[in-house]
Amino acid sequence: MLAAIRSATVIGIDALDITVEVDVVAGLPSWTIVGLASNAVREARERVTSALANSGFDVPSRRVTVNLSPADVRKDGTSFDLPIALALLAATGALKPDALGGLIAAGELGLDGSIRAIRGTLSLSRAAARAGGCLLIPAANVPEATLIGGGDRTARIVAATTLAQVVQQIRAHGANLPAAELEAREPQAPDIADVLDFADVAGQAAAKRALEIAAAGGHNLLMMGPPGTGKTMLARRLPGILPTLTDDERLEVVAIHSVGGLVIPGTIPSRTPPFRAPHHTISLAGLIGGGPGPRPGEVSLAHRGVLFLDELLELPRHVLDAMRQPLEDGRVVIARAANAVAFPARFQLIAAANPCKCGHAASNDGRCHCSAADIERYRSRLSGPLADRIDLHAHVGAVEIASLRTARGEESSQAIRARVSAARTRQQERFAHLGGVRTNAEVPGRWLTAHGGFTDDARAFLEQAAARLGISARGYHRAMRVARTIADLDGAAEVDNAAMAEALRYRAKAKDS
């Protein structure tokens, strides 16, 4: 007997409809799964048969053929366990085949018949809302699946805890299963601003100013200085001054993190922007994405948040240069022989580096014995095209030890965040009619030139500086974006010479830091 049920597979962060067909006929007991299934999908046979037996159902001693359609799309993961089991029960007469007609099922089966959490549930929920029907998923994934809101945007979500419970509900209600009730709450983690505060950082006023500008406009920043000057300490406090994610931004972040396996089952993801800080030994696939699937890399996991690369110049040059495209386009395209998968990657790069191999080239204590050639070779690991995509270059010098003992009343993250939020609000109002543009770092250069509010003196000053410093066309527009952010922080409608001079000073720092 033949039975079928709808399911879905996630490719990138988008879900594709899949039909699971199960045919049970007389013959020697055997299982065959076709339809370009990965090893994880083919192993469903062992999980499904054990789950059926331990849930009190008969396992057919006949020939079973499972087809995953369309057959030319690769299927990966364990989410097909539940639809295969339900279609198998319908094919053997334990369920009425028409009872599965309105269901879209996904879930991993435990050997005891329990239904366990899967990845990519938010994408499945979006696909179910478009296709119509009832989405049957593990109970632990319900909080994530219901994030996309109510009304026509949301599919009817049904929570599944055990295979026996699902079969009992289908027998009683058919495809009109009772919708799940959301009980999970927002995670009660401490606010990042209360944990890591800028008030804990003594001195470093210039670096704090650069981080404030970077946060306000979404700009990329490189901090360079000797070891122990607080570069990492400063960078880890950046999330405390960033605005929280909007509803749409959180959906984008959760969709990526769900595919990457970072969403904790049973919880509603917070609105804090992601902060990713991979080790400098990370591989190209780990940073950009790849592997089976493929899976998102750190540049995508940092989408709408911060990617912090400590010891930037210790990363291989080919790994660093792979960030050029995502920094420019806000997305990563991973091409394979069969298809290409795109992941969003609109992240803010914050990097820290030493000025030379020993780290003391910028010190005046004579501890650095690196030759000029060694220093140049070390700094050349950051290529010119990548350095040109970094808006702010800040030197972080050593702090006097005596200042660490003195209470200096450093400004708190809360006060800085208030200015950053006000600047972000001005940008949102300015770019309200530009679809998808949220910050100055994202606005097209042509629009900024025409509508950015630059005074004639500021334009002339920028043109003279660009000619004298050899600034590229990209650098020209990036300097304009930074100057616009500085003016927003000051609450100014126009960008004057002072804002432009400060913006250019951060670009020029790359030469002497």
3-state secondary structure of 134: strand
Q: Is the pLDDT score of 479 beyond 90?
A: yes
As a dihedral over the C-alpha atoms of residue 401, residue 404, residue 405, residue 407, rounded to 10 degrees, the angle is 150
CATH 3.40.50.150 fits 2-173, yes or no: no
Which pLDDT value is given to residue 91? 94
Contacts of 57 (CB under 8 A, 6+ apart): 89, 94, 163, 167
Average pLDDT, the chain: 88
Q: Which of 146-155, 282-291, 317-326 is the least confident region?
A: 146-155
Which pLDDT value is given to residue 508? 55
Cα 39 versus chain centre, distance: 27
Which pLDDT value is given to residue 133? 78
Q: Is the pLDDT score of 356 beyond 70?
A: yes
Q: Alpha carbon of 284 to those of 291, 297, 334, 392: distances in Å?
A: 11, 9, 12, 25
Which pLDDT value is given to residue 211? 96
Which pLDDT value is given to residue 510? 40
Q: Is the pLDDT score of 146 beyond 70?
A: yes
Which residue ranges does the chain devote to CATH 3.40.50.300?
192-409
Q: Is the pLDDT score of 189 beyond 70?
A: no
Which residue ranges does the chain devote to CATH 3.30.230.10?
2-173
- Higher-confidence position of 50 and 336: 50
CATH 3.40.50.300 fits 192-409, yes or no: yes
Write down the residue that tokens 């996309």 correspond to. Answer: 148
The residue-averaged pLDDT of 252-265 equals 91
Question: What confidence tier does 197 reach under pLDDT thresholds 50, 70, 90?
Answer: confident
Q: Is the pLDDT score of 115 beyond 50?
A: yes
Cα 215 versus chain centre, distance: 17
